[in-house]
Amino acid sequence: MKAEPGLPFHVFSQSSITKHLTLKRYNDLKDIRTPSGYSLDQAIRSGIKNPDSSIGIYAGDMESYDCFAQVLLPIIEDYHHLEPGWSHKPDLQEAVLPDLDPKQTFIRSSRIRVARNLGRFPFSGNMNPDQRLALEETVKQAFKTLPETLSGTYTSFTNLNEKQFNALLEKGLAFRKGDRFMDAAGINRDYPLGRGIFISRDKVVRVWVNEEDHLRIIAQSPGGDIACVFNRLIQMIRALEDKLHFAFDRRKGFLTACPTNIGTAMRAGVHIHLEKLEKNPSFLETIARDHHLQIRGTGGEKTAVEQAVFDVSNARRLGISANTIVKDLHEGLQAIIHTERNL
């Protein structure tokens, strides 16, 4: 796709900003600053530096969604495939769904996460070192007041030597610096300062602090009992939202650094071993499309499939409830497993 002449980014790119940031919109927005001083040029620097971006823009605070609505709304409506009159669906109920694969023949693990940001702080790509440390301290205090069933330990990465950090990383209990897209957006600045992870005693619930968003609240467990993982996640979300004021908009839902994550800000997925479907990708793609699922490589976004282990998760985040997402995933996995068994 060709960018309009006069725009400050790569002439040919498939990103959402190439498609939706017209010269008029750029000129209308370029001199606007959000209350934290964030500009449109800062918001699109990742898409400028990485012409292969799929989106190319990151919010620097919750007010970015209003200040730059002229370009963010068309991007949101396009990416999330939203119908006119769309709105976030807030309901969040415990799920009751049978384990699809109790023998763990196919489903290796289930992982459900939500992104959350604290409204009174700038977002991850727009924070100075003091703000990252203040955010970390704020959530550390919240972790200390969790109920017994959710209690655990918080580890700040700056308190770890390389050996200790790598040991956590190998167990999937830490996170590295973000990719080049996040790097160009300023999200990796000062890493590992202010970054860390909370882990519940049963290790099912984890919270990443100061990664792409202020919080990534995660529940994960071996096997395919997605309802059990979802219900554990809800407990943690409810416990933290009582203590922390999350960036939220009635229509757009929970606000995140990347516009692809707003709404429920939830990604619910499994790692599933599909030897036959790996050889019949069109079958898998059809089931994924029919059940609003996205297929990723073993390591998640922008990675390859290794040993026929796929990352299958919800494609929709906004305009439907978290419970609908889990139900879509459950029904989609039922269809995938049925097809894998009978191919």
Question: In which residue are the tokens 């009174």 written?
Answer: 120
Question: Which residues are catalytically annotated?
Answer: 113, 212, 216, 258, 260, 267, 296, 301
Retrieve residue 211's tokens.
């990664």
Cα–Cα distance list, 178 to 184, 188, 191, 212, 264 (Å): 10, 6, 9, 7, 22
Contact set for ligand DAR, span 263-302 (CB under 6 A): 301
Contact set for ligand DAR, span 200-239 (CB under 6 A): 212
Cβ atoms of 115 and 215 within 8 Å: the answer is yes
**Does residue 260 touch ligand DAR according to CB under 6 A?**
yes
**Does residue 184 touch ligand DAR according to CB under 6 A?**
no
**Of 44 and 287, CB closest to ligand DAR:** 44
**Does residue 54 touch ligand DAR according to CB under 6 A?**
yes
Retrieve residue 213's tokens.
């968003």
**Of 14 and 27, CB closest to ligand DAR:** 14
| Smallest separation, CB 46 to ligand DAR (Å) | 6
Q: Which of 55, 240, 265, 274 binds ligand DAR (CB under 6 A)?
A: 55
**Of 54 and 104, CB closest to ligand DAR:** 54
User: What burial class does residue 342 get, using C-beta atoms within 10 Å of its C-beta: 0-12 exposed, 13-18 middle, 19+ buried?
Assistant: exposed
Size of site (CB under 6 A) for ligand DAR:
10
| Smallest separation, CB 325 to ligand DAR (Å) | 17
| Smallest separation, CB 124 to ligand DAR (Å) | 11
Binding mask 152-181 for ligand DAR (x = CB under 6 A): -----------------------------x
**Of 100 and 174, CB closest to ligand DAR:** 174
Q: Which residues of 94-113 are buried (b: 16+ CB within 10 A; e: fewer)?
A: ebebebbbeeeebbbbbbbb
Q: Which of 39, 53, 124, 314 binds ligand DAR (CB under 6 A)?
A: 53
**Does residue 114 touch ligand DAR according to CB under 6 A?**
no
Q: Which residues of 302-339 are buried (b: 16+ CB within 10 A; e: fewer)?
A: eeebeeebbbbbbbbbbbbbbbbbbbbbbbbbbbbbeb
Q: Which of 166, 241, 171 is nearest to 199 (CA)?
A: 171
- CA–CA distance, 265 with 93 (Å, rounded to integer): 16
Retrieve residue 72's tokens.
């963010």
Which among 51-59, 158-166, 236-244, 286-294 is the span making contact with ligand DAR, rule CB under 6 A? 51-59
Give residues with Cβ within 8 angstroms of 160, minimum separation 6: 168
Binding-site ranges for ligand DAR (CB under 6 A): 53-56, 181, 212, 258, 260-261, 301
